[in-house]
Structure 1
Amino acid sequence: MFKVSNETKVGILAAVSIAMLILGFNLLKGKSLFSKTKKIYAIYSQVNGLQPSNPVQVNGLVVGNVSNLEIMDKNAGKILVELRITKKIDIPQNSVARIASDLLGTKSVQIDFGNANAYLEDGDTIYAAVDGSITDALKEQLSPLVKKLEGTLGSVDSVLLTVNSIFDPSTKGNLREAIAHLNTTMNNFTRTSASLNSMLDPQHGNVKATFDNLESLTANLKNNNDKINAILGNAEKTTAALANGQLDKTLLELQQMATRLNETIAKLNSTDGSIGLMLNDKKVYNNLQNSLNSLNKLLEDLRVNPKRYVHFSLFGKKAKVQPIPSDTAKTL
């Protein structure tokens, strides 16, 4: 039986490894060793970071890749880009290969088909173009705005120069004072607006509380409508009774009563009657006071010595007379 030596096995393994390495390197570069490809070339003055293996697209479809980039002169003014087309497509001769980039900065070559009836063959050169970068697009959009801004700033500068030439120092001071007052007014307006907002707050504002109170008041009026009607009816009856009654007669009687009361008080103040003498004559008052004192002593003696006035004894013995307490108190 044929026996393979170890050296042969090592050689075969090394050859297979080298072949796999070459195949993998070409695959990473976008080259295929087993498919038929077509090479076309494009010459650019700048490639905007284009690298080998970047895709070549037609209408968004990847039809190949960039296989190589070479400098054509020492100043790098021209760069030759080799495009490997792997799809079986016909590219018109007046087509354009544009270097484009997406928002993430990934570069690609976009082929825009022309309308020629003749097609590019292997090794032909295609027209080249480079799309502007996002920065270039922004510059292009901002350039008119910058020009307008410069014109506006120039106008503002002219206006300020004119204002400075018109306004003297006193006028400038007055203007500053007016602006300060305007700021104060705006601050007051802001506080007023905040107060109004707090008052108009639908949850805790004073206006809401006022409307709630008004609603409660109207509800109470509605609930007590019958009572209010009864009170108004009673008031109407009272006024009708007063209107229909002899109010004038009652007032006349009250006036006559007041006149009689005045006459009575006048008699009391005079010394014509007994009551008047009693109220106005001091002697009458003293006599009355002495009479009352005598009456009090009599009653006191009656209480202390009752046998002096009512004598009743079976043996005929006379009771001893006791002094009354008031006389004893005076003696002491």
Structure 2
Amino acid sequence: MLKLSNETKVGILTVLGITLLVLGFNLLKGKSLFSSNQTIYAVYKQVNGLQPSNAVQVNGLIIGNVTKLDIMNNDPSRILVTLTLKKKVPIPRNSVARISSDLLGTKTVQMDLGNASEYLKNGDTIYASVDGSMTDALKEQLNPLVKKLEGTLSNIDSVLITVNNILDTTAKGNLQDAIRNLNVTMRNFTHTSASLNGMLDPKSGNIQQTFNNLASITGNLKDNNAKITGILDNAQKATDALAKGNIDKTLSQLQQTVTNLNQTIAKLNTTDGTAGLLLNDKKVYNNLQYSLGNLNKLLEDLRVNPKRYVHFSLFGKKDKTKPLPSDSVTVQ
């Protein structure tokens, strides 16, 4: 059996320990040495505290992690982030790797998938973007408040300047004049109140006289209460008589009369009946006009030639028939 020296055993154990240390370190960083992963890169201007081993997600599903962050070409504004994808998820070329954070401040890289037909391959670079931090969001919320506060302070400054202008020498003199005028007004008010007290005097005031007149009027009303009651009784009797009368019957008869009158007028407006024909049928009117013309001719002929209709002759001699004065007689 091969015997190993202590130095050899120590060397073997050292190599095994270093190997296990490297494997464990890589495992803690999220690297897998026994599977084929896809590596893609993203370039950011700032990473908002992104660290290696932070998760890479697609729609909330963890598909990999951040393995490395480097400064490109000694330019701090260009930070190269290495993303290792453990799950085989096709990533379209127009997708975006967006750095976001939750309420606890944990950073993640969210893959916003695009709609391109080509997909990223191992070693390709993806588009990059960064969500605003909580501080940026807070600044956006506070900016309107700060602007309003600035406007308020500006207004306060304007008010203070106005007050200073008011309190100058001229303004103080004007203020004193105003106070003197106010004193005069108060004295006038005192005189007015004295006059009002005189009017309210219970013995000689005008208001007391007015109340006395009102008392006299109410006394007269009280003295004539019986007469007023009689007048109201008479009015009540008159209204009762009207209420007990045959007003309803009279109104009903009047309504019936109006109805009959409407029916008669309606018949006159139609060609039913003689009156309706006379009023509405032109042919009847023309025939009547013609008959009246013939009747007038007959009467005229009777007047001119009476012997034609009534003949008296003692000697048997006939009179000659006289012509009518006019063959056509105008109806008057």
Instruction: Output the TM-score relative to the length of structure 2.
Output: 0.47
Q: Which has the larger radius of gyration?
A: 1
- Normalised to the residue count of structure 1, the TM-score between the two structures is 0.47
